[in-house]
Amino acid sequence: MLLPLLIALILGYLLGSLPFGYLVARSHGVNIFEVGSKNPGATNVRRVLGPRPGTLVFALDALKGAAASWWALLSHTDVSVTFALDETSLAASGTVAGSAWTQLGVAGLIGALLGHGFSCFTRFRGGKGVATSAGGILILMPGATVIAALAWVTVFYATRYVSLASIVAALALVAAAFLLTLPGLLLGLSIVIAAFVVIRHRTNIGRLLNGTENKSGKKSPPARS
């Protein structure tokens, strides 16, 4: 099982490393690493170039996470086994083969997050992993994803801070995974994702505390190169 996990991790990393934010901005004559927050994520692209490029980057980044985790769909096959001994029977049911596929999906998503945050194509610079996480967890744990998405929407429309909404959604994902009693592997994944998102937003947290964080709707002038 070690080799398939390693392959999933590497393929996930390569998928996650695809710098869609950088490429979309470049197609508009902008080096996204030199403008706005200098981050290639969808939020900065949207702030610099407008809603359409920003939405495109979010969709493509989410697709990376979903693609890296797609094989987890196979984990929903239930297997029922019955054992009989004389007049006594014992029945057991559960997801037998599915656990291995879930491990591959989790490994793929972790690889994608690392690739997105530290892309080998952009000198190990990258985004904060929110869209990529969203795409992957939608495949692996859709119920918890819906709860996290509702948390994001609520906080965003209440504050207009994308960063704060993303942090709260990441923490809500952990709470949802716990309350929905998801398997330990997926609960652990939610904790890893939350930690990754919070750490990648550490500068935003500082600006939020200082009252200098940008709210959604402000558009930065693009620097063309």
Average pLDDT over residues 4-29: 95
Question: How far lies 22's CA from each of 11, 89, 129, in Å?
Answer: 20, 61, 14
Are 8 and 107 in contact, with CB atoms under 8 Å apart? Answer: yes
Residues near 94 by beta carbon (within 8 Å), at least 6 away in sequence: 78, 79
Q: What is the pLDDT of residues 105-160, one digit of tens each?
A: 999 999 999 999 999 999 999 999 999 999 999 999 999 999 999 999 999 999 99
Segment 57-63 mean pLDDT: 97
The pTM score is: 0.82
Tell me the sheet residues that pair with 89: 84
Among 69-73, 92-96, 147-151, name the most confident range: 147-151
Q: How far apart are CA 188 and CA 43, in angstroms?
A: 27
- Residue 92 CA to residue 122 CA, distance in Å, equals 50
pLDDT at 218 over 60: no
15: pLDDT strictly greater than 60? yes
145 backbone dihedrals φ, ψ, rounded to 5°: -65, -40
Q: What is the pLDDT of residue 41?
A: 94
Give me the helix-helix angle, 51-69 and 130-140, nearest 10°: 40
